[in-house]
Structure 1
């Protein structure tokens, strides 16, 4: 049989085998014992923390014929079939490659049918955040009211991308990063089972490189075992992960503490020349400095198992560095870490950081550094401040109310009215034209850019003729902006012409000015005469006009 990766061989088969997620496994077991399981679950968390493994265990537990204390027995025919991947009632789907509406509709249609062999039909959808919006909408109704024999288990590393409507229809479980101690214990169990010897320090190096992911840790362990199968050593673990040995980090920081920048630069060059990863090297240095900081405050919290960075230099460095120096060094390394992502020359930035680490931490400006002020000068300043405060109070009590508000309101109506453009439109304006413009106004706004839409949303057409439209704005400042925006005015006229079937001129007017402008026009020119609506003939006149014809043969007089 072909070799299988460790994370596949040692995948948890029961809830009790899951590492670092006790709250989740206990909750699920209790729900199974009480027969209060949900129809849909959402498993969230970083990669390699057990989401898919727990989903498969839950699928087995829901179908197991001999469930005991919420744990599947792994011996009945259904558990064996699920472990082999041959049970058709447990369907695993990768949403990254099946993220369309058609795939989800297919699931929705097939979910209606009862399971063929098992008790419950279980759909495990991995990386569910990759589904399209249409696919989520297709899944929504099924999640809300699924058949009694169907359970959905959704897994994702990015829950923020899942619609709230989906999350609200599921029971959500957040998987935590697994602690380094738990990862080390699991690797110890696996290596003991395979009868392979190891160094605890090496396992801690692997656990730190895994960053809370059990699958990543076992993948790294696989590489280390391939590098040297007889024994898992610290050197092999450091070579595989690209990390630096604690003694090398200690020597480097010892050179920094002694202001021996040349020796520190030499150490950096040697580490990089031996193949160490620059990013991992900075991570290790920050971890070392963190341990120094914690050791100064609470030595019991730092031990060989927890830090994996203890060496002969550690305690001496903890006594030599002051906390502010450690803060400064961590800040420098953090900045360098960000710079490494944008460069192909990590050596350059590490050398600059080494020089900065050897310099003293910048001191905050102290008040004591200012020259002392004579007591007489202080007294004189206090008297001056008191005098000015008294004058200000007197002015405030006797000053008249500010006249800013009337000036502002007057400014609101000071926008110049373009009568030469408005009057021609008013002369030919009709109610029919205005209603037509109002009807297509939302369509016109939708044709504009988003910023222009936002500005024009508070406008409305107030008069229209076959050749032009008058638009009112609530704020004069927006009229000024719109009139000065040639592109906007051109777009309004062009788009309005397209929608109305002919060229239209657009004229802007302030909302408060519009009634006065209209009244002034009526006073000067009278009401516009409707040209498009002919007078309807009287029922008495119509037969006569049919016989003798219209003007000039017949004149109709109203009595």
Structure 2
């Protein structure tokens, strides 16, 4: 037979051979040993993490008569037939090309028949999120009342697209990204079996470039082997992955930190002349900045993540550069990364980026606040005072603008005060911000609840992991009620990272439950959008409260509500949200 790719030849045939998913494989083996086999499973996770391989191994194990410690023997006729793909009772379906109602109805009808050779008929539906709504509905009844001796295994990379009614009828297993260390060990094992020489640095580079996918790692390894004539060298790995050397990244960062624009531009030109991909360079640079940020918090963790390739230059640089500079750099890198997708001239964007990050605003760094002789603690206090002063001034300005909103009283007793103009109606500032969750919290928010969460916030941060603390480092609660708390982020990229991190949100809610005895809903917002959200809410809330006050008043048509009665609900709500100490109430 012709040459087969590494990921096909070295595809796991036993649960023990699946890399980096020990919890899932242990659970599945125990289920097989104790005969506690479910009728439907859902395997979710990133590409190349072992979902389909685990499904095939489970199909073998459940039909193998010589099971040992939950592992298939791979020697009996049933196991061999499944490995060869010739057993009719194990049906693998690609939902991307078979996503219609008719295909699923055909599966449903055939599932009623007993297996012909094996003990169980197993349907493996890959990329199940591609099924249409009608197809999901056709599958639902079968999952709810499955035929005897039929098992469904659904696999997907996008579980959020699967209806909750389907998920609730399956046992769900979340496959995690594989650690670079585990990928490195597996690649080293394969190369030793093939008697191929390799450079340790090359394997570390490939393991990192794979981004948690074993299949991607083996595909890159295959390319490197072909390019290097069955030899894996560091230079070949750099060429195949398009990565930039760690030394060159360090040099570039040092030049940026020293504001040496000319040298940094020459380094960029050297990178481009070497044929490196601009997008890959931005990714490597972002990852490098992340490593510096985490190294300042926990050096040992970063050394494990980066597989021991942290050098003395990196350690020196991480001690010199401030976290505020890193935040600004990552913001600029994020903007350039989005722009590179739509340009045919990446060199222009990289040069502009270099000029911008070598001229970062020094006043935004804590070092600019601190003098050469002042203690570091005084610098932090001064920075906090400046930030709080700006916030108070901003809130005062918003309250003044609220009081200037027009309020028209009606002469008819059945009519209420007109609502605020449409131009100030509540609107979602950003489609990613969860306005529908924010407004209910603001509706019952109090200053007392906010103060409670502010008091326990440092204790809550101490319960998080180092990585989670790095994300939440620049966050703070800005409004709270008995059932929810709104948390703002100083930097948009950290807000986006937190917004997509379900584990972080669960950790916050669970640890809050331990600290304060309740688990309120936590909603994230970017700090630069929070004033607009708050202002729009108060504008719409003012009209609502004014209406409620007018209806509850004396129905005498000649009686006109006083200014104090119209303004009191809004003032009261503003006091609840922001406290009396920053309000300056003036009668129009």
Instruction: Give the TM-score category using the shorter length.
Output: 0.5 to 0.7
Deviation per CA, 1:464-518: give whole Å up to 9, x if none.
xxxxxxxxxxxxxxxxxxxxxxxxxxxxxxxxxxxxxxxxxxxxxxxxxxxxxxx
Count of paired positions: 382
Which residue pairs with 2:94 in the alignment? Answer: 94
- Is 2:410–2:416's contact at 8 Å kept on the other side of the alignment? no
Structure 2 partner of 1:286: 286
- Asked if the contact 1:324/1:361 (under 8 Å) is kept, the reply is no
**Match of residue 341 from structure 1:** 341
More displaced 10-residue stretch of structure 1: 357-366 or 227-236: 357-366
State the Cα distance separating 1:359 from its structure 2 match. 1.8
Shift of 1:280: 1.0
Match of 1:422 in 2: none
Displacement of 1:315? 3.1
Equivalent position SS for 1:356? helix
Moved more, 215-224 or 244-253: 244-253
CA drift of 1:298 comes to 3.1
Aligned to 1:35: 35
Residue 159 of structure 1 and its aligned partner are, at CA, apart by: 1.1
Q: How does 1:381-392 map to 2 (within 5 A)?
A: none
Q: Residues 408 and 417 of structure 2 are in contact (CA less than 8 Å); yes or no, is this contact kept in structure 1?
A: no
Structure 1 distance, partners of 2:304, 2:69, is 38
Maintained 8 Å contact 2:31/2:37:
yes
Q: CA deviation at 1:229?
A: 2.8
Deviation at 1:362, TM superposition (A): 4.3
Q: Aligned pair 1:409/2:413, yes or no?
A: yes
Report the CA distance shift for 1:311/1:412 in structure 2 as closer, same or farther (over 3 A).
closer
Superposition map of 1:16-415 within 5 A: 16-303=16-303, 306=306, 309-311=309-311, 313-364=313-364, 407=411, 409-411=413-415
- The question of whether the paired residues in 2 share the 8 Å contact of 1:127 and 1:156 is answered with yes
For the pair shown, which has the larger CA radius of gyration, 1 or 2? 1
Q: Quote the Cα distance in structure 2 between the aligned partners of 1:405 and 1:288.
A: 61
- State the distance in 1 between where 2:353 and 2:412 align: 57
> Tell me, what secondary structure is at the counterpart of 2:413?
helix
Q: Within 2, Cα distance between the matches of 1:191 and 1:209? A: 18
Q: Distance in 1 between matches of 2:416 and 2:303?
A: 73
Change (3 A) 1:413 1:348: closer
Distance 1:183 1:405, change over 3 A: same
Q: Deviations over 1:281-307 (max 9, x none)?
A: 111112222323333343333338725
Inter-CA distance 162–301: structure 2 relative to 1 (3 Å threshold): closer
Q: TM-score, normalised by structure 2?
A: 0.62
Which stretch has the larger CA shift, 254-263 or 311-320? 311-320
Which whole-Å CA distance do the structure 1 matches of 2:361 and 2:114 have between them? 70
TM-score (normalizing by structure 1): 0.65
The CA distance in 2 between the partners of 1:147 and 1:318, in whole Å, is 61
- For the residues of structure 2 that align with 1:161 and 1:299, how far apart are their CA atoms? 38
Give, in whole Å, the separation in 2 of the partners of 1:297 and 1:144.
Answer: 49
Query: How far 1:202 moved relative to its partner?
Result: 1.1
The DSSP-based 3-state class of the residue aligned with 2:122 is: strand
Q: Distance in 1 between matches of 2:140 and 2:307?
A: 47
Give the Cα–Cα distance (whole angstroms) in 1 for the partners of residues 337 and 216 of structure 2: 22
Structure 2: distance between partners of 1:162 and 1:290: 33
Q: Which runs of 5+ in 2 are unaligned?
A: 370-380, 384-406, 419-588
Task: Verify the 8 A CA contact 1:204 1:305 in the aligned structure 2.
Answer: no
The Cα of 1:324 is off from its aligned counterpart by 2.4
CA distance in 1, matches of 2:277, 2:308: 18
Describe the SS at the equivalent of 1:172.
strand
- Deviation, structure 1 residue 86: 0.7
Q: CA RMSD in A?
A: 2.5
Q: Distance in 2 between matches of 1:7 and 1:223?
A: 12
Is the contact made by 1:99 and 1:135 (CA closer than 8 Å) also made in structure 2?
Answer: yes
Write the distance in 2 (CA, Å) between the matches of 1:32 and 1:251. Answer: 54
